[in-house]
Structure 1
Amino acid sequence: MNVTLYVGNECPLCDEALLNLRLAAEDILLDIEVIDIGRDDRLHEKYMLMVPVLEKDGEVLLYGNIGYGDVMEALL
């Protein structure tokens, strides 16, 4: 399963979300793409107040405080 995590610079919630995604990847086959919104003006404009943002197939599944349970519930 391919998912995209949009992150911001110096974002503790983003670090936690990535950690929780990696933990989930131990139970679910995940291909995680991490994109820094600071490198793309369009993405920065779209997600600057929401990061971290977890997307699958172009659909936002989760944003903000993303815990392990949230990830598992959203992806199963």
Structure 2
Amino acid sequence: MVVNLYSKVDCPLCEKAKAVLQELQKEYDFQINEIDVYSDDALLEKYQLMIPVVEIDGEEIDYGMIQKEILRKRLLRELNS
């Protein structure tokens, strides 16, 4: 499974979100695909005020202050289906 993390350079919240995802990788088998919103104008327009954004299977799971428990619940649901 691949988890997309929409972020940007020099973003403290993005670094925290990545750390949360890396912690969850110790419990669950998934890859982190980090995407810089400044690499695509459409992504920048869509996410610039929301970043970081965590997306699993095309669904935005959480954004801004990423909460570990929200991600854990969604990962469990995805892995058990």
Q: Do both proteins adopt the same fold according to a TM-score greater than 0.5, normalized to the shorter chain?
A: yes
Cα deviation for residue 54 of structure 1 reads 0.4
Consecutive aligned runs of 4 or more in structure 1 exceeding 6 Å deviation: none
TM-score computed with the length of structure 2 as normaliser? 0.87
Deviations 1:16-56 (A, max 9, x none): 00001000000000111000001111100000000000001
Cα deviation for residue 72 of structure 1 reads 1.1
Distance in 2 between the 1:13 and 1:45 partners? Answer: 18
Instruction: Give the alignment's Cα RMSD to 1 decimal.
Output: 1.0
- The total of aligned residue pairs comes to 76
SS in 2 for 1:34: strand
Q: Which residue does the alignment assign to 2:71?
A: 71
Q: Which residue does the alignment assign to 1:25?
A: 25
Distance in 2 between the 1:13 and 1:74 partners? Answer: 20
Distance in 2 between the 1:24 and 1:45 partners? Answer: 29
SS in 2 for 1:61: strand
Cα deviation for residue 13 of structure 1 reads 0.4
Cα deviation for residue 75 of structure 1 reads 1.7
Distance in 1 between the 2:12 and 2:74 partners? Answer: 21
Alignment of 1:1-76 (within 5 A): 1-76=1-76
Q: What 5-or-longer segments of structure 2 have no aligned partner? A: 77-81
Higher relative contact order at CA 8 Å, sep ≥6: structure 1 or structure 2?
A: 1
Distance in 2 between the 1:50 and 1:74 partners? Answer: 19
Answer 1 or 2: which has greater helix percent.
Answer: 2
